[in-house]
Chains A and B, each alone.
Chain A
Amino acid sequence: MANLSLKHIYKVYPNGAKAVNDFNMQIDDKEFIVFVGPSGCGKSTTLRMIAGLEEITAGELKIGDTVVNGMEPKDRDIAMVFQNYALYPHMTIFENIAFGLRMRKIPDVKRDKEGRPVLDKDGKEIPVMRKYNKQELSAKVNEAAEILGITEYLKRKPKEMSGGQRQRVALGRAIVRHPKVMLLDEPLSNLDAKLRTQMRSEIVKLHKKLETTFIYVTHDQIEAMTMGTRIVVMKDGFVKQIDTPKNLYKYPANKFVAGFIGTPQMNFFACTLKKSGDKVKIKFTDADAEITVPYAALMKTTPHYLDGSKNVILGFRAEAVSLDGAGDAKIKVKISHSEELGTETLVYGDLNTEGGADTRIIIKAGGFRQFEPDAVCTATLDTEQIHLFDAETEESIMPRIPEFNYLDCSVKGGKLTFLGITETLPPAISCGEGKGELLIPVSAVKFGGDIKAKVTDSETVNGKILLTLEINSGRLYALSDEERKGDVSVGIDYKAITLRAGGSETLPMPRINCLDGTLIAEKKDGATVYSLLIGGEKFAAPEEVYTKIFAATTGRKAFNTAFRYEWDAYGLSVGESGISAEVEEMLDYGEEKFARVNACGQTLYVKTDADLSGTVRIVPDAAKVSVVESERRIRIV
């Protein structure tokens, strides 16, 4: 019955270890969220922070509209189910379920012995807080017990019950209070496999019935996939991906998610990509094998991975390969053994038919089938279902929303030609002449320019709309806030592009300006004024900023700690008084002008309309600031 908002949530232990790093998430009412990841990934810690059992180091946690940081667990209106059930061994099941109610008071009006309200002298009822009475208690407990089918056990003690029944009691204890949020910490991991499957579907049913927000922690990806409306995959304190089960399976954002979700595990192979024409050759590094896939399947792949030199990791699931399918992408597999599972057979093999490096591959074959060990077969890969990851960062190199459009271009006489159109380069971009390449971030394609384009495809990814535009039969990706169809006109934001041509390279203007400073408090006319102190200059801090800083710090740390203040180029302006800065260069991007200045040893980019030179004063817009605590690297605002 409530939505949750987690903003920049951190858990940092006194020894500096970060258990949870910058956790951001909006959870809607009635969602079933699953936190999944290997042990020690911070999923339980996050849940315990939501429960209030663990202190939040920094960040803002809202349940409904209330900020609950520092609030006692009992006041948060949450309920929690523990891995070992944590039933009270010495109490009966009834008492176990009723205990939470007994500890609570409910609003009522003052009543006399017969239960009639007592009125005050104005004839109004007198509000009081009272405990639940016997009838109410047993009615509530019975209601919860009925939902879970444990009515007949209410007089028993926990140790007289089986694991599954205990789990029901734990659930009953949680639901009896009708909490806003139900938190479940690996509740099924102590049950046997059969019971687990059964309880899984019961919990899902319970969720539907209660219409409450559920947050469920598990290390079991099958539980996550079958139960969650959305899944948060975590590793080492970082959120790796938040998405629906289907999208996690189909579009894993990194190798970790790809390997973690799905059984059998995804097949991974080190390889290189080489594009020739409209085909891409995938060459396996550890095996003497290569396959060819149409470039259309890898359209969103960052082009510089396609030159045959960069190491990438190819991933595909067992069901994306078949031993008798048709297709061009064929590989030789030496079978080692197979597992018959009834509906399907898992075939284990090696790509290295002669032995050597470990190139284990798992293939799903239908029905009961016998395979001769050491036989060499030909497997066919479904090129529509391959995933590619950077070998070092392990991030997907074909994300659903590509970061850049990679285009061939040529520069001549201050004019840039790409996709068959020619545009005049703004003065800020000076570049050698000749052929080259152009990187346009998808977010730098703005609607309403003078380039005519046609929308050929649109795809909604996590609330963002990715449009595929056709310009002179060339392709350009763009992000849009709204659905667009047919002909559109676009323009390029030149300050974000990277241009390599004629042996020189123009980098985009950095988007973030950083300044180091502190927070100070001063008394002025009896009121306290809080300001950001940067380079000796004071700028009044808006309430939202300083309250967040206060919330993320203890004691007077807010005033004794160094912060890194960040703005984009529009957050800074030039004014009468402010931080003194030396202008280094003027950057003219046509429609907009920016000054590159040096202040307090930092290079800043400031939006300006005039041509500047010499010493200027920079005025930051305190309302647009983001704040990072320098020492612990914690993002606060």
Chain B
Amino acid sequence: MKIVEKFKALPDKIRAIPKKLSDKLAGAKEILTQGNGKVTASMLVMGLGQLIYKQWVKGAMFAFIQIAFIVYFVLTGATDLFGFFTLGTREGNAWYGVEGDNSVVRLIMGILAIMIIVLYAAIYVSNVKDVYRTQCAMDTLKKPADFKQEAAALLDKSFHKTALALPVIGVCVFSILPIVFMILIAFTNYGGDIVPPALVDWVGFANFGKILSLGQFAPTFFKIFGWNMLWAVLATALNYFAGLGLALLLNKKCVKGKAIWRAFPILAYAIPGFITLLGFKFMFSYGGPINYYIQQGGGEAVGFLGLDAKWSARFIGLAVNAWISIPSTMLLATGILSNVNTDLYEAARVDGASSWKQFIKITLPYVLFATTPVLISQFIGNFNNFGIFYFLRGGLYADGYFLASDTDLLINWLYNMSIDNNYYSIGAAISLVIFVITSIISLTVYVLSPSYKQEETFR
């Protein structure tokens, strides 16, 4: 029902886009047609209009930004921007001692240059808007804020600008830039033989075509995708319900010494993941303790995680993942359970509801409601759970797969292809596909979840 309504609302949203755009344009048009000479001055030279208005510090800052940008652009920016489109023109040759262009570095510096240009453009626009705002204030006989007030506002009204500046820059450089880079790599021929010093080139959608047309990629992709979905659903459900069950168990009135009982799962939670995983790998290895006992009992050593192991390895993965993740779900559920209104239980008991009924009718709906966002992120986390199979049996290539094995998730496959085997562009293209799938799933769930809707009405 809700999904249908969402989609019904879609046309209205799309129809609203031209209006939003024209509103934006109207704002720009107003500045262009009604801005006075000082606005024009600031359009030509950043900060000039402010200086004419005698806003010395602000004007100087804008002017400095413009100078700094010009210096940057002349020194490296222009080359970087150019490099983004060409991805390097001079091929290096160690034999002749020619130091060529590194295409990948060209690409990344190009993205950085574009980001800086966008940032500069944003500052430029705010410079024009600022001087126009001063003009408006002057025109309507209001006192424009002086520098002291504006500086004070940075700790008050616009504290968010001050506070968010660093996080936003950090996220842009270390989270967004890499992702943009990865997306763009999907449209190049980077990988295979074509790695620096060879020159990389733009190839458009060829990689996506390759995934579909080339025999080696498609079957592996669908096989792994099927397992990946199954894994994500099973792992999420297992962790969620086992964690919830554990929390409920520890919440029981008859359990004495809750802190001690709770300590064991927390112990598991606290141990760094890679230690746990390597420990389990040792445990199930050919020479590990499990096989030792099997051999003692007269059996033959079993390759639980060996190349031929399919389901045993999968089950071990599921179990180990549960071992690692259940404690955190338990902690979360414990916290949430302490918030459940106890009156409800008493009312239910008076009504003669069994404890199972109480769980189904009261606990589960409440916990589900409260944890929808967590559930989504857990699903995504499991879908992209790289560590489990990387540590348990990384680097195995089974028959019937292209550079992957039965247990590998898409993300492991990507790792095998791109990091271990240089199939960078194909890997990037596949990761885009994965991204689209996961984001559609989780965005839909998230937008439909009550938590998101309540955020809207918050306050």
Contact = CB atoms under 8 A, between A and B. Distances in A.
Interface of A: 521, 546-547, 550, 553-556, 558-560
Contacts of A556: 30, 34, 135-136, 139-140
Contacts of A554: 136
Contacts of B34: 556, 559-560
Interface string B106-141: 000000000000000000000000000101100111
Contacts of B135: 556
Contacts of B30: 556, 560
Interface string B224-245: 0000000000000000000000
A547 B143 CA distance: 13
A554 B30 CA distance: 13
B15 interface: no
B142 interface: yes
Nearest to B133: A555
Interface in B29-82: 30, 34
8 contacts: A546-B141, A547-B141, A553-B140, A554-B136, A555-B136, A556-B135, A558-B140, A560-B30
A550 B133 contact: no
Given A556-B136, A558-B139, 20 more contacts: A521-B139, A546-B141, A547-B141, A550-B140, A550-B141, A550-B142, A553-B140, A554-B136, A555-B133, A555-B136, A556-B30, A556-B34, A556-B135, A556-B139, A556-B140, A558-B140, A559-B34, A559-B139, A560-B30, A560-B34
Nearest to B135: A556
B142 to A, nearest CB: 7
Contacts of B140: 550, 553, 556, 558
Max chain B Cβ within 10 angstroms of own Cβ: one of A554, A556, A560: A556
Max chain B Cβ within 10 angstroms of own Cβ: one of A546, A550, A555, A559: A555
Contacts of A559: 34, 139
Q: How large is the interface on B (under 10, 10 to 19, 20 to 34, 35 or more residues)?
A: under 10
Interface of B: 30, 34, 133, 135-136, 139-142
The B interface is mostly helix, strand or loop, or mixed, namely helix
A479 to B, nearest CB: 39
Contacts of A555: 133, 136
Contacts of A558: 139-140
A488 B233 CA distance: 93
A521 B140 CA distance: 9
B138 to A, nearest CB: 9
B159 to A, nearest CB: 14
Max chain A Cβ within 10 angstroms of own Cβ: one of B34, B133, B135, B141: B141
Nearest to B142: A550
A67 to B, nearest CB: 12
4 tightest CB-CB pairs across the interface, nearest first? A550-B140, A555-B136, A556-B136, A558-B140
Nearest to A72: B156
A547 B139 CA distance: 11
B248 to A, nearest CB: 29
A402 B34 CA distance: 51
A548 to B, nearest CB: 11
Contacts of A560: 30, 34
A161 to B, nearest CB: 23
Contacts of B142: 550
A94 B34 CA distance: 55
B443 to A, nearest CB: 24
Contacts of A547: 141
A509 B139 CA distance: 39
A20 B136 CA distance: 27
Contacts of B133: 555
Nearest to B35: A556
Nearest to B27: A555
A230 B381 CA distance: 61
B459 to A, nearest CB: 11
A366 B365 CA distance: 51
Contacts of B141: 546-547, 550
A376 B135 CA distance: 77
Max chain A Cβ within 10 angstroms of own Cβ: one of B139, B140, B142: B140
A466 B139 CA distance: 47
Contacts of A553: 140
A546 B142 CA distance: 12
A56 to B, nearest CB: 14
B75 to A, nearest CB: 38
A556 B132 CA distance: 9
A378 B135 CA distance: 76
A558 B135 CA distance: 13
B28 to A, nearest CB: 13
A287 to B, nearest CB: 42
A560 B34 CA distance: 10
A550 B139 CA distance: 9
A216 B142 CA distance: 33
A51 to B, nearest CB: 16
A212 B142 CA distance: 32
Contacts of A546: 141
Nearest to B141: A550
A550 B136 CA distance: 10
A547 B140 CA distance: 8
B124 to A, nearest CB: 19
A559 B30 CA distance: 11
B259 to A, nearest CB: 24
A409 B141 CA distance: 57
A547 B142 CA distance: 9
A16 to B, nearest CB: 13
A547 B34 CA distance: 20
A546 B139 CA distance: 11
A558 B141 CA distance: 11
Contacts of A521: 139
A113 B133 CA distance: 48
A127 to B, nearest CB: 20
A9 to B, nearest CB: 19
A556 B36 CA distance: 12
A550 B143 CA distance: 12
A554 B141 CA distance: 12
